[in-house]
Amino acid sequence: FTEPNTVLALQAQYVGVTSVNLTWMVNDSASSSYTFRIEFVNGTSVENRTSRVPETEIIDLIPGARYNFTVFAVAADGQTEGEGEFITVYTKPNPVLVLQAQYVGVTSVNLTWMVNDSASSSYTYRIEFVNGTSVENRTSRVPETEITDLIPGTRYNFTVFVVAADGQTEGEGESIILYTKPNPVLALQAQYVGVTSVNLTWMVNDSASSSYTYRIEFVNGTSVENRTSRVPEMEITDLIPGTRYNFTVFAMAADGQTEGEGESVIVYTKPNPVLALQAQYVGVTSVNLTWMVNDSASSSYTYRIEFVNGTSVENRTSRVPETEITDLIPGTRYNFTVFAMAADGQTEGEGEFIIVYTKPNPVLALQAQYVGVTSVNLTWTVNDSASSSYTYRIEFVNGTSVENRTSRVPETEITDLIPGTRYNFTVFAVAADGQTEGEGESVIVYTIPVSVNSFQCVPVAKESYLLLKWACPPGYNSAFKIEISNSTWKNESWALPCTTEGSEKNFRTVSLNYFSTYNVSIATVSNGSESLPVQKTCTTGITDPPAPSTAPLVKVVSHSSLSVQFADFKSVNGPLKAYAVMITTEKQGCDSLEFKLNNTYKDFKKKTTITYVAYVIDAEQDKTPSLHSQNGTNIVNIGKGNKMYGYENGPLIPLHSYRAIVAGFTNITFTVANLIVAEDSYVSFSPCSDAVFLPQDPGVIAGAVIGCLLALLAVVTIGGFIFWRRRRKDKRNTEVSFSPIKSKMLKVENFESYFKKQQADSNCGFAEEYEELKSVGVHQPKFAAELAENRGKNRYNNVLPYDISRVKLSDQSSVTDDYINASYIPGYNSKKAFIAAQGPLPNTVEDFWSMIWEKNIYSIVMLTKCVEQARTKCEQYWPDKETKSYGDIVVTTVSEIVLPEWTIRDFTVEKSNTPDSHTVRQFHFTSWPDHGVPETTDLLINFRHLVHTYSTQNPIDCPTLVHCSAGVGRTGTFIAIDRLIQQIEMENTVDVYGVVYDLRMHRPLMVQTEDQYVFLNQCVMDIIKSQKDKKTDLIYQNMTAMAIYENFTPGTGFGKANGYH
């Protein structure tokens, strides 16, 4: 057979891992009978396959191996072969095994794989990585590779192809899809940090960032939590306030698994705002703040305290929830804000603020620039820098009354104050908030009292004092200062205060000169301040002219007339209005002349009087023919037969002795019959002249004999009269006895209506009654008191005891030694229940104690202070705390108890050289002004009860000694109220008028003033009202006092406010 032609177009139709499909062509005509031998050589290994067709699949090859395939066409004989056609083919390697990313980075990936092919040592590798449409290749000679320059966070499909030694034949690719790691986030920050939340933001510059998600990991201690976000920001909530958190943000590729490196930020959540922030103390330059914090992390907190004043901002820190801020400006507005600060020392919570004004400094130099009656101008200074914004609160206190005023400037006028009142003004500087006050600065100021209104000075008839009257001014007063002066003399007196505005206040001045002009000023006094004085020029009243010391000179003119020559009376007590020449035929006719001024010549002729008024001269009119006057000497002819007023100047009887007395009048009052009313006239008398004897009528010789007989008879008569009078006088002095007294007795039940009637028109009815009592008893003789030897024993020359009722001392070395200015006064049950006495003089203290001893006195009632208004009213007649002798009487002070209204003293009294002694108790009432009345009726009522209760325990017939200064005003009032109370209790009747009438019959001027008389009636009224209201017997308040003295337990009346209940 011929050799077939060489096959054509030999090619590897398919190359696999362990097989190769070869195809070829044969153009020989005999090719249909051909067989084909396929020889494939690998290294030294030769194998053959046969095929009946122009293609074949060679299997069981070694992967990735180099084969030299030669195809021989074999003729039909099976032996004749043509030339071989060859082709070199590498089988495909096996795919790589265990392809994995050994490392995935941001821009690189490290891939590793394995290959088990025997030919693998000759392999190379192609690594194809696809990102979207981008395809790149890398080659490697070893089964690993690092792919770099990748895009961060991007999805890559990595395929590794094994390449046989020919560098072309590749196995099947093995793929792995990987995402590169994203870049770490940038600019991670806490955009907002709250109390329980944090807002994080970050940036990512990766091109793939739009597909990223983010994992946020936050760590607090051992607690780890995660959140995810699709955007580059995140709000993390439900955090713990004031706590440290480590926030880490991871960018996560689109696979949801591949994360970039985490970026961290440490953040402290804000603490909660502090609670209950308050100023525990606010001072002038410091403030103490306190607050609370409820956060669990608060133990690690510090606090920043910011305080702002205007544009000035300062800070303090504190480790505890309180602080003291010092060095502040006084009176200034501060905004204090407290921030809780976490443990990092930076993260602060919201500030809690409080606005506080520091206290202003106390004001300085507070003073009353002006003090008026109802206003005070205060000024002060303030040195604080903030003072321009201050207001000021002015508090002024009067007793329990508190008022306030405000001022915007450091001065103020406080008006509508009470005159004469003590005010405590306190000024507080108030900061601009109107609430914060500095410490107050105080000043005590007394407003000026108000001047008195309706000031009058009233002359008092026959008194040398002036009665001053005024209306009680508004406001308070503690006294009234009264100055009385003339060109040569000045006196200052004090009047007690008054309480009822507009009520009339009366004051009796000291004794002045009669008929004299004085300047009188009165100023209201309160707490040492005086009002403007109110001034008046006042003239005192007139009284009896001074009695001349020289008797008139009487000369015989004829057998029926005589001349009386006398000098003008001195007009110091008032201008002389008239003179009356009185004629008497007896020396005793010169006594008690005031009762004889209405005796006329007719009475003399009828022999009903031996003394008569012969002639009245009007001193202010022209001289009459019967009067001759020259150089103050007047000569009146008596017996001329002319008439003046109701008096006849009839002829005198020859051969009679006549004496003349001249009466001078500063005021003269006549009856309808033109006779002198002695009671209403102011008169004094000259001494009685020597007697002159008228000669016989020349034409009547026998008349001489008759005249002699008559003269003898007259002498005998006069002698007998004198003897009889002395006997009568001595008899009367042995017993106190009077004619019946006048009375105005009333039933108790009728007294109230009587009281209201008498009280009407400013006590007009009582004034009339009192006026009626003025002359009661005054005509009774006071010979003993008027004796020259006794005048020095009288404190006042117008308060003299009547002879009929005076107390006589038994121990006497001379006739006048029995005299003491004291009088027996009847009580309700006894004619000698009381002795009313003047306050002792230094020279009568011994007599005073002698009287106490002799008259067996156990109780003394003293109603005056020893000194009142700087004038001595009574000598202190008792020892203070020791034993003292007063003549032969020895007195020892045993005890003294001082109470607000009175003082009680006990004395032991004994007489020298005798074993006898007894106790004397002195009840000293200290609240009764001279010529005035006690403040309330119950004071006197209670005091009287105290005395009465004690006195009833004394031995029978022991009088109670009562004295004040003169022994008539206060003394008379006390004795009267004692009698009236017993009269009410025993008879159910009352006779104030009759009691005072009876007292005045025993001692002059008893119940000395109209005020005291009205006060007596008021006492009676109050007693009757108390009985009527309670329908009980009289029970007195001051049983408390008696309990002190007598150690008895008070009964039901203990402690009541009124004397009766």
Give catalytic residue positions. 964
Asked if residue 544 lies in contact with residue 522, where contact means CB atoms within 8 angstroms, the answer is no
What tokens appear for 678 in the block? 């002695």
Asked if residue 234 lies in contact with residue 214, where contact means CB atoms within 8 angstroms, the answer is yes
Asked if residue 590 lies in contact with residue 725, where contact means CB atoms within 8 angstroms, the answer is no
CA distance 131 to 139: 18
Largest CA distance in the chain: 261
CA distance 589 to 728: 18
Could you tell me the CA-to-CA distances from 486 to 518, 537, 912 in Å, in that order? 5, 10, 52
CA distance 499 to 497: 7
DSSP code for 646: T
Q: Please name the helix (run of DSSP H) or strand (run of DSSP E) that holds residue 245, with its range, or none.
A: strand 244-252
Other CB atoms within a 10 A radius of the CB of residue 33 amount to 14
Task: Classify strands 917-925 and 109-114 as parallel, antiparallel or unpaired.
Answer: unpaired
How many degrees, rounded to 5, is the angle at CA 58 between CA 53 and CA 62? 170
Other CB atoms within a 10 A radius of the CB of residue 21 amount to 15
How many degrees, rounded to 5, is the angle at CA 876 between CA 875 and CA 879? 150
Other CB atoms within a 10 A radius of the CB of residue 800 amount to 22
3-state secondary structure 836-860: EECCCCCCCHHHHHHHHHHCCCCEE
Chain-centroid distance, C-alpha 706: 99
CA distance 760 to 766: 9
Residue 587's identity, in one-letter code, is K
What tokens appear for 128 in the block? 């194809």
Please, what sign has the CA dihedral across residues 429, 431, 434, 435?
negative
3-state secondary structure 461-487: CCCCCEEEEEECCCCCCCEEEEEEECC
Residue 859's identity, in one-letter code, is S
Asked if residue 703 lies in contact with residue 697, where contact means CB atoms within 8 angstroms, the answer is yes
Asked if residue 906 lies in contact with residue 858, where contact means CB atoms within 8 angstroms, the answer is no
CA distance 610 to 688: 14
CA distance 936 to 1019: 9
CA distance 281 to 122: 95
Chain-centroid distance, C-alpha 576: 64
Closest of 360, 502, 477 to residue 429, by C-alpha:
360
Closest of 505, 370, 377, 519 to residue 451, by C-alpha:
505
Closest of 107, 92, 256 to residue 174, by C-alpha:
92
